[in-house]
Amino acid sequence: MKIAVIGTGYVGLVAGACLAETGNDVVCADIDETKIARLNRGEIPIYEPGLEPLVAGNLSSGRLRFTTDVAEAVRASHIVFIAVGTPADEDGSADLQHVLGVATAIGRAMNGGKIVITKSTVPVGTAARVKAAIEAETHHPVHVCSNPEFLKEGAAVEDFMKPDRVVLGVDSEFAGRVLTDLFSPFVRTGNAILLMDVAAAEITKYAANAMLATRISFMNTVARLCEVAGADVDMVRRGIGSDGRIGPGFLFPGAGYGGSCFPKDVKALIRTLGEQGIDASILEAVEAVNQEQKGLLLQRIIRRFGEDLSGRRFALWGLAFKPNTDDMREAPSLVTIPALLARGATVAVHDPAAMEEAARHLRDTVEYFPDNYDALAGADALVIHTEWLPYRRPDFPRIREALKTPVVIDGRNLYRLDTMREMGFEYYSVGRAPVVPGPA
């Protein structure tokens, strides 16, 4: 099939490469000329494991190409995916200007009947607006469907190639047949293709992200109780996660959720509910808990070292909002770092993939270290924001020797309490008792 993907960010690039991998002719279009130039040279503008060989292989086989000419991409294709960004507007609603702008561009370029699919996360009712925007420009017939994307950054290729399920909101039997055919190579082991109406598909995406965000904020609340009660949240997590009705996923407490999806999607769903006169207090609570949680590591630092941090130095391991990505959008580290700097501290940082992205936000206000151990020298404490694998089993004696004081403030519960006690650290984690060395 001939396919256009409009918007070549995390979602569009992964979708385009994976659809090409299954034999389709795919053209990915983006208005960002620099990005397209890099992609045409075989350079991948984002850090995403497994994506580079997939793009390179399909570029060289000719099944995948990149262009800045959206109209040409539309004309060359029977199926057009819209995968542009839908950031939060000032009032929290999803900003649809890019999606509707692309819809108008598609309408103007229509040279025959097409199926247009919104892959961007969009509020219920958007497909109807996309259809109206296209039909305002053309008399060619168009089906507008919804195929929300559930991939996780850091495992995006794997998630796209082997999805738990594919959700297809379709406007007709014809579109349902064509899209089922298109996605069937990805569900060969029997995972479901769920055909539904377009509105249900649009709501499914927000409901999924809001549910996951709710689990995280719920566990962060439970973690607060554990700290006060002297209980270990890890035990509670296992205790509830082993209940088949609850399941183990997304129950880890931490320094708050970030990224390009949960924060904006929770806000947008609150907005949609409000517009429909439906009480959104459950999600308002989820968001409020998360806002507070993103300040947790700063609070821990202040409690330990005082409000005035002038002359203090902190080493930060992990900047990205989660491991295996360089995405810094809404990362909790971007809450901690400016607050430390404002209180007079200096900050030394390390991240295995996100330092370049981080520098776009932090510029030269912090010191960047390509080796995580080098960042520790002379620091008052090590502060961990992201659970990258290389941080999980570090050289503890080396950490202790490099730090000025052996204090570790961990927002991801990476280490065992008994290990930290034995190693002589003062250790603060989330929902677990602090380790404070006393007389032997």
Ligand X SMILES: NC(=O)c1ccc[n+]([C@@H]2O[C@H](COP(=O)([O-])OP(=O)(O)OC[C@H]3O[C@@H](n4cnc5c(N)ncnc54)[C@H](O)[C@@H]3O)[C@@H](O)[C@H]2O)c1
Residues assigned a catalytic role: 261
129 in contact with ligand X (CB under 6 A): no
The answer to whether residues 14 and 157 touch, using CB atoms and an 8 Å cutoff, is: yes
Selected binder of ligand X within 1, 32, 138, 292 (CB under 6 A):
32
154 binds ligand X per the rule CB under 6 A: no
Interface with ligand X, residue 120, by CB under 6 A? yes
Q: Is 6 in the site for ligand X (CB under 6 A)?
A: yes
From 52-60, 95-103, 368-376, 378-386, span contacting ligand X (CB under 6 A): 95-103
Among 151, 170, 347, 430, binds ligand X (CB under 6 A): 151
Q: Which one of residues 3, 4, 10, 206 is an interface residue with ligand X (CB under 6 A)?
A: 10
Judged by CB under 6 A, does residue 31 bind ligand X?
Answer: yes
Stretch that binds ligand X, among 149-157, 160-168, 302-310, 348-356 (CB under 6 A): 149-157
**Least distance in angstroms from the C-beta of 70 to ligand X:** 5
Distance from CA of residue 41 to its chain's centroid? 26
Quick check: 350 binds ligand X (CB under 6 A)? no
| Residue 201 contacts ligand X per CB under 6 A | no
Measured torsion, CA atoms of residues 13, 14, 20, 21, in degrees rounded to the nearest 10: 150
- Would you give the binding string for ligand X spanning residues 253-282, x where CB under 6 A is met? -------xx---------------------
Closest distance of CB 227 from ligand X, Å: 31
Part in contact with ligand X (CB under 6 A); list of ranges 26-34, 129-137, 176-184, 393-401: 26-34
Residue among 98 and 416 whose Cβ is closer to ligand X: 98
Per residue, the 3-state secondary structure of the chain, as one string, reads CEEEEECCCHHHHHHHHHHHHCCCEEEEECCCHHHHHHHHCCCCCCCCCCHHHHHHHHHHHCCEEEECCHHHHHHCCCEEEECCCCCECCCCCECCHHHHHHHHHHHHHCCCCEEEEECCCCCCCHHHHHHHHHHCCCCCCEEEEECCCCCCCCCHHHHHHCCCEEEEECCCHHHHHHHHHHHHHHHCCCCEEEEECHHHHHHHHHHHHHHHHHHHHHHHHHHHHHHHHCCCHHHHHHHHHCCCCCCCCCCCCCCCCCCCCHHHHHHHHHHHHHHCCCCCHHHHHHHHHHHHHHCHHHHHHHHHHCCCCCCCEEEEECCCCCCCCCCCCCCCHHHHHHHHHHCCCEEEEECCCCHHHHHHHHHHHCEECCCCCHHHCCCCEEEECCCCHHHCCCCHHHHHHHCCCCEEEECCCCCCHHHHHHCCCEEECCCCCCECCCCC
Nearest approach, Cβ of 149 to ligand X (angstroms)? 4
Cα separation, 382 vs 400, in Å, equals: 10
Q: Considering only CA atoms, which of 304, 333, 312, 335 is closest in space to residue 321?
A: 333
Considering the rule CB under 6 A, would residue 83 count as an interface residue with ligand X?
A: yes
Residue 381-420 contact track with ligand X, rule CB under 6 A, x = bound: ----------------------------------------
Under 8 Å between Cβ of 263 and 88 = yes
12 binds ligand X (CB under 6 A): yes
Could you say whether residue 124 binds ligand X (CB under 6 A)? Answer: no
- Least distance to ligand X from the beta carbon of 114, Å? 16
CA dihedral sign of residues 138, 140, 143, 146: negative
185 binds ligand X (CB under 6 A): no
Q: Tell me if 70 contacts ligand X by CB under 6 A.
A: yes
Is residue 85 at the binding interface for ligand X, with CB under 6 A as the rule? yes
Count of residues engaged in binding ligand X, rule: CB under 6 A = 27
For ligand X, give the closer residue by CB, 324 or 429.
324
Q: Does 92 bind ligand X (CB under 6 A)?
A: no
Q: Pick from 24, 58, 77, 86: which binds ligand X (CB under 6 A)?
A: 86
Q: How far is the CB of 24 from ligand X (least distance, A)?
A: 19
- Closest CB to ligand X among residues 159, 351: 159
Do residues 326 and 47 make contact, with C-beta atoms less than 8 angstroms apart?
Answer: yes
Single residue of 3, 11, 73, 297 touching ligand X by CB under 6 A: 11
Binding to ligand X by residue 8, rule CB under 6 A? yes
Pick between residue 7 and residue 332 the one whose CB is nearest to ligand X. Answer: 7
Residues near ligand X (CB under 6 A): 6-12, 29-32, 35, 70, 83-86, 98, 101-102, 120-121, 149, 151, 153, 260-261
